[in-house]
Amino acid sequence: MKVIIIGGVAGGASAAARLRRLNEKCDITIFERTNYVSYATCGLPYYIGDIITDEKQLTVQTPTSLFNRFNINVKTSHEVIDIDATKKIVIVKDLINGKVFNESYDKLILSPGAKPIIPSFYKKSERVFTLRTIEDTKKVKSYINSNKVSNAVVIGGGYVGIEIAENLTNLGISVDLVEANNQVLSIFDTDMVSFVHSTLRNNGIKLHLNSHVELLEEINDQMVVKLNNEDLVSDIVIVAVGVTPDTILAEKIGLKQGVKGSIIVNEHMQTSIEDIYAVGDAVMVKNYVTEEDALVPLAGPANKQGRIAADNICGIASSYQGSLGTSILKVFDLNAASTGLNEKTLINKKMNYEKVILSPLAHAGYYPNAKILTLKVLYEKESLRLLGAQVIGYDGVDKRIDVIATAIKSNLKAVDLKDLELAYAPPFSQAKDPVNLAGFIIDNIENNLVKQFYYEDIEKLRQDPNAILLDTRTDFEYSRGHAEGFIHIPLDDLRKRINELDVKKRIYVMCQSGLRSYLATRILVQNGFDAYNFVGGYRLYSSLMSDK
Amino acid sequence: MKVIIIGGVAGGASAAARLRRLNEKCDITIFERTNYVSYATCGLPYYIGDIITDEKQLTVQTPTSLFNRFNINVKTSHEVIDIDATKKIVIVKDLINGKVFNESYDKLILSPGAKPIIPSFYKKSERVFTLRTIEDTKKVKSYINSNKVSNAVVIGGGYVGIEIAENLTNLGISVDLVEANNQVLSIFDTDMVSFVHSTLRNNGIKLHLNSHVELLEEINDQMVVKLNNEDLVSDIVIVAVGVTPDTILAEKIGLKQGVKGSIIVNEHMQTSIEDIYAVGDAVMVKNYVTEEDALVPLAGPANKQGRIAADNICGIASSYQGSLGTSILKVFDLNAASTGLNEKTLINKKMNYEKVILSPLAHAGYYPNAKILTLKVLYEKESLRLLGAQVIGYDGVDKRIDVIATAIKSNLKAVDLKDLELAYAPPFSQAKDPVNLAGFIIDNIENNLVKQFYYEDIEKLRQDPNAILLDTRTDFEYSRGHAEGFIHIPLDDLRKRINELDVKKRIYVMCQSGLRSYLATRILVQNGFDAYNFVGGYRLYSSLMSDK
For each of chain B's 548 residues, which pLDDT tens digit applies? 999 999 999 999 999 999 999 999 999 999 999 999 988 889 999 999 999 998 888 888 899 999 999 999 999 999 999 999 999 999 999 999 999 999 999 999 999 999 999 999 999 999 999 999 999 999 999 999 999 999 999 999 999 999 999 999 999 999 999 999 999 999 999 999 999 999 999 999 999 999 999 999 999 999 999 999 999 999 999 999 999 999 999 999 999 999 999 999 999 999 999 999 999 999 999 999 999 999 999 999 999 999 999 999 999 999 999 999 999 999 999 999 999 999 999 999 999 999 999 999 999 999 999 999 999 999 999 999 999 999 999 999 999 999 999 999 999 999 999 999 999 999 999 999 999 999 999 999 999 999 999 999 999 999 999 999 999 999 999 999 999 999 999 999 999 999 999 999 999 999 999 999 999 999 999 999 999 999 999 999 999 999 88
pLDDT for position A548? 82
Do residues A411 and A390 share a domain? yes
Q: Is B493 helix (H, G, I), strand (E, B) or coil?
A: helix
Do residues A268 and A200 share a domain? no
The 10s digit of each residue's pLDDT in A472-504 is 999 999 999 999 999 999 999 999 999 999 999
Tell me the shortest Cα–Cα distance from B533 to chain A, in angstroms: 14
Contacts of A299 in chain B (CB under 8 A): 424, 431
**Cβ within 8 Å of residue A437, ≥6 positions away:** A358, A360
pLDDT for position B55? 87
Distance between CA B474 and CA A333 in Å, rounded? Answer: 38
Do residues B51 and B104 share a domain? yes
Query: Is residue A154 over pLDDT 90?
Result: yes
Helix and strand totals (H; E) in chain B: 16, 31
Is residue B388 within 8 A of residue A71, CB to CB? The reply is no
For the residues A340-347, what does the mean pLDDT come to?
Answer: 98
pLDDT for position B218? 96
- Residues 43-72 on B with a CB inside 8 Å of A are 43, 46, 51-52, 57-58, 60, 68-71
Q: Total structural domains in chain B?
A: 4
Contacts of A428 in chain B (CB under 8 A): 328, 330, 335, 398
Active site residue A42: yes
Distance between CA A275 and CA A85 in Å, rounded? Answer: 9
pTM of the model: 0.97
Distance between CA B50 and CA B112 in Å, rounded? Answer: 28
Exposure of A220 by Cβ count < 10 A (0-12 exposed, 13-18 middle, 19+ buried)? exposed
Query: Is residue A55 over pLDDT 90?
Result: no
Contacts of B58 in chain A (CB under 8 A): 366
Nearest to residue A234, comparing CAs of A220, A245, A248, A249?
A: A220
Domain of residue B407, CATH code: 3.50.50.60
Q: Tell which of A224, A241, A258 closes a domain.
A: A241
pLDDT for position B346? 98
The helix (H) or strand (E) run that includes residue A294 is strand A293-294
What is the residue type of A208?
A: H
pLDDT for position A60? 81
pLDDT for position B60? 81
Q: Tell which of B195, B212, B241 closes a domain.
A: B241
In a domain, A323, yes or no: no
For the residues A27-44, what does the mean pLDDT come to?
Answer: 94
Residues of B identified as active-site: 42
- Specify the DSSP class assigned to residue B414: G
In a domain, B225, yes or no: yes
Tell me the shortest Cα–Cα distance from B120 to chain A, in angstroms: 30
For the residues A259-263, what does the mean pLDDT come to?
Answer: 96
Contacts of A325 in chain B (CB under 8 A): 421
Partner-chain contact B69 A519, CB within 8 Å: yes
Do residues B197 and B267 share a domain? no
CA angle A59, A64, A65 (to 5 degrees): 60
Which of A24, A402, A428 shows the shortest C-beta gap to B403?
Answer: A402
Is residue A58 within 8 A of residue B366, CB to CB? The reply is yes
Nearest to residue B510, comparing CAs of B542, B464, B545?
A: B542
Identify the closest residue of chain B to A415 by CA–CA distance. Answer: B318
In a domain, B76, yes or no: yes
Distance between CA B111 and CA B11 in Å, rounded? Answer: 6
Q: What HEC string does A14-42 produce? A: HHHHHHHHHCCCCEEEEECCCCCCCECHH
Is residue B491 within 8 A of residue B511, CB to CB? The reply is yes
DSSP per residue, A463-506: T-TTEEEEE-S-HHHHHH---TT-EE--GGGHHHHGGGS-TTSE
Q: What HEC string does B181-196 produce? A: CCCCCCCCCHHHHHHH
Q: In what order do the strands lie in the sheet with B487-488?
A: B452-453, B530-534, B506-510, B467-471, B487-488
For the residues A397-405, what does the mean pLDDT come to?
Answer: 98
pLDDT for position A61? 87
Do residues A263 and A360 share a domain? no
Mean residue pLDDT across chain A = 96
Do residues A230 and A132 share a domain? yes
Sign of CA dihedral A340, B369, A392, A406: positive
In a domain, B162, yes or no: yes
In a domain, A119, yes or no: no
Query: Is residue A141 over pLDDT 90?
Result: yes
Do residues A405 and A497 share a domain? no
Contact of B445 with chain A, judged by CB distance below 8 Å, is answered with no
Do residues B108 and B251 share a domain? yes
pLDDT for position A377? 98
Residues paired with residue A218 on neighbouring β-strands, in sequence order: A223
pLDDT for position B525? 97
Domain of residue A499, CATH code: 3.40.250.10
In a domain, A90, yes or no: yes
Q: Tell which of A256, A281, A313 closes a domain.
A: A313
Is residue A355 within 8 A of residue A416, CB to CB? The reply is no
Do residues A147 and A101 share a domain? no
Do residues A374 and A442 share a domain? yes
Other residues' Cβ atoms within 10 Å of the Cβ of residue A126:
10
Q: What HEC string does A265-291 produce? A: CCCCCECCCCCEEECHHHEEEEECCCC
pLDDT for position B548? 82
Contacts of B422 in chain A (CB under 8 A): 300, 326, 402, 405-406
Q: In what order do the strands lie in the sheet with B100-104?
A: B78-84, B89-94, B100-104
Give φ, ψ of B409 to 5 degrees: -60, -30
pLDDT for position B214? 97
Is residue B216 within 8 A of residue B223, CB to CB? The reply is yes
Q: Beta strands of B441-520 (E only): which ranges?
A: 452-453, 467-471, 487-488, 506-510
Partner-chain contact B406 A411, CB within 8 Å: no
Nearest to residue A19, comparing CAs of B416, B449, B424?
A: B449
Is residue A370 within 8 A of residue B49, CB to CB? The reply is no
In a domain, B367, yes or no: yes
Q: Give residue A7's domain range.
A: 2-113+244-313
DSSP per residue, A362-394: SS-TTSTT--B-EEEEEEETTT-BEEEEEEEES
Do residues A430 and A351 share a domain? yes
Do residues A162 and A224 share a domain? yes
In a domain, A65, yes or no: yes
Helix and strand totals (H; E) in chain A: 16, 31
Contact of A121 with chain B, judged by CB distance below 8 Å, is answered with no
